[in-house]
Amino acid sequence: MLPVIVVHGGAGLVGAERLEGSCRGVQEAALAAYRILQQGGSALDAVEEAVVKMEDNPMYNAGCGSVLNELGEVEMDAIIMDGKTLASGAVSAVRGIANPIKLSRLVMEKTQHLCLTAEGASRFAKAMGVPEVEEESLKTDYSRKRWVENLAPGSNPVESQMYGKSVSVSFLNQNRGKMG
Amino acid sequence: TVGAVAIDSQGNVASATSTGGMLNKMAGRVGDTPCVGCGAYADNLFGAASPTGHGEAIMKVTLCRLILFHMEQGMSPEKAADTALEYMKTRVQGIGGVIVVNSSGDWVARFTSEKMPWAAVKNDQLHYGFYKGE
């Protein structure tokens, strides 16, 4: 079987100034993961590596660079799934770690559960020796700027870029800021 | 949101997805990402998928499991992805994208948003794109 890796960097808003960086980031992630597959590594290791690369890249809404919630905080979700066994692990609303995808894999491999959330996920991370990071280190100037711009209802002037010109105003209003 | 799907030399597939969620979401909001069949799905019999987009819409149609269901019924990854994304768009007005690989190593990156950065490597060849049709 010829190994294959495919990655995406999200279907949300990407401004022109971030176009080159986001395109470069997915290529770097794909190539890093492909090297694992070339060396006989597993698909599971490859997808984890690809996602770690993008979590560490502030261009993307995951890990460092995550969008902020209404309180200006970072809450992250992640999942990993193994097609051989249908095993899966996930975390939700997790804080203060750099790579939620690694914690998801630990949930899959070290617990009887499929998903750990919030404080429970943090407790598990600590028990597994996953290093804590300062929440501020996950925030970027870009994520803070977008948070401020979107505090006021109807204050996002660039949303139409996200949906395209053919979408109605009512559709935009219904779906304002709902791209994860 | 970021995601990856892969098939290795043993024919095993896997999927992974990670996100900060939705801009200015309510504290405590959990989207599609950590939900099996929504934020990811992988089954060696059919393939693997990872999505991005409107989380609540992706959950309503269990997007990744829907794509694998279509592939189980004989659709190609491209047809399965397009059919599921169109269903999500018309049925629950959800916009998004997916990457898919099947158990034969055929892959696709499809989206109903204007843009989605993606990249793929197969047979030592790098493919990438950003806009529809690339």
pLDDT-derived band at A180, boundaries 50, 70, 90: low
CB-based contact, A107 to chain B, within 8 Å:
no
Helix (H) or strand (E) holding B22: none
pLDDT-derived band at B16, boundaries 50, 70, 90: very high
Residue A96 pLDDT more than 60? yes
CA distance A76 to B134: 30
ipTM of the complex: 0.98
- Known catalytic residue at B1: yes
Which of A31, A47, A116 best probes binding to B when mutated, by most B CB atoms within 10 angstroms? A47
CA distance B2 to A54: 7
Residue A76 pLDDT more than 50? yes
Residue A152 pLDDT more than 70? no
Q: Point out the least confidently predicted range of A47-61, A144-158, B22-36.
A: A144-158
Burial class (CB in 10 A: 0-12, 13-18, 19+), B129: middle
Structure confidence at residue A163 (pLDDT): 43
Strand order of the β-sheet with B125-131 is A115-117, A87-94, A76-82, B13-19, B2-7, A4-8, B115-122, B125-131
Percent of chain A residues topping a pLDDT of 70: 84
